[in-house]
Amino acid sequence: NMIGAGGETTSTTITWAMAELVRDPRVMKKAQYEVREIFNKKGIVGENNINELKYLKLVVKESLRLHPPSPLLLPRECGQACEIDGYRIPAKSKVMVNAWAIGRDPKYWSDPERFYPERFVDSSIDYKGTNFEYIPFGAGRRICPGITFGLINVELTLALLLYHFDWKLPNGMKGEDLDMVELFGANVKRKNDLYLIPNAPLPSLV
């Protein structure tokens, strides 16, 4: 059930993206400005305008690097014995790829723990699974079939949230104090719920 499976991973991705945005006011302001600039010109908030949100797409891509909703990709079975980096893997072995660890590997990413969407500017890295340092949706014949469905849902929902509301943490909490502890499982969720306060801006600003 692609829709059912995509619902939980989509909500997890949106939650992590919002958490990263409220932690970094610079990125939040930049993404929000773009969304309001594009949608104010069009007079409508809809999926037809999503491709114009270049920076928001970078935000989503960076969020998926740090927080792939499914940290361990679907298991594969080795069709024949092989050796990889000195490790012998017998035929019929079940292997799993740790997409979470790959996305934070300093061999491939500078300052890997930093949320920095600009790292993908002018980058050829995409979601197709051909860049093995970035595989939040997997790769090959078993790549996630719901990539398009999932991305449009994440991007449109984030765009709507940023367009209609300004966001802040409760009780005067600062972004750097936000708990980012993960709860590992089939999906990597936040250990603690994310609480944010929405504030509708003045009509003249939206």
Say what the pLDDT of residue 40 is: 84
For 53, the token pair is 């949100």
d(CA 129, CA 167): 33
Helices 25-42 and 2-23 cross at an angle (nearest 10°) of 120
Region 69-94: mean pLDDT is 90
For 31, the token pair is 């993404």
Most confident of 69-73, 136-140, 168-172, 182-186: 168-172
d(CA 115, CA 62): 7
Q: How many domains does the chain have?
A: 1
28 falls within a domain? yes
Cβ neighbours of residue 91 under 8 Å, at least 6 residues apart? 78, 79, 80, 81
91 falls within a domain? no
144 is an annotated ligand-binding site residue: yes
Domain that holds residue 149: 2-70+103-205
96 falls within a domain? no
d(CA 161, CA 70): 24
* pLDDT tens for each residue of 137-158: 888 887 887 788 889 999 999 9
79 falls within a domain? no
Say what the pLDDT of residue 3 is: 53
Instruction: Please provide the average confidence, as pLDDT, over all residues in the chain.
Output: 89
Measured over all CA atoms, what is the biggest interatomic distance in the chain, rounded to whole angstroms? 65
Cβ neighbours of residue 156 under 8 Å, at least 6 residues apart? 46, 47, 50
Region 111-115: mean pLDDT is 97
20 falls within a domain? yes
**Cβ(189)–Cβ(183) under 8 Å?**
yes
Residue 184 has pLDDT above 90, yes or no: no
With pLDDT > 90 as the criterion, what percentage of the chain qualifies? 63
Say what the pLDDT of residue 21 is: 98
CATH of the domain at 159: 1.10.630.10
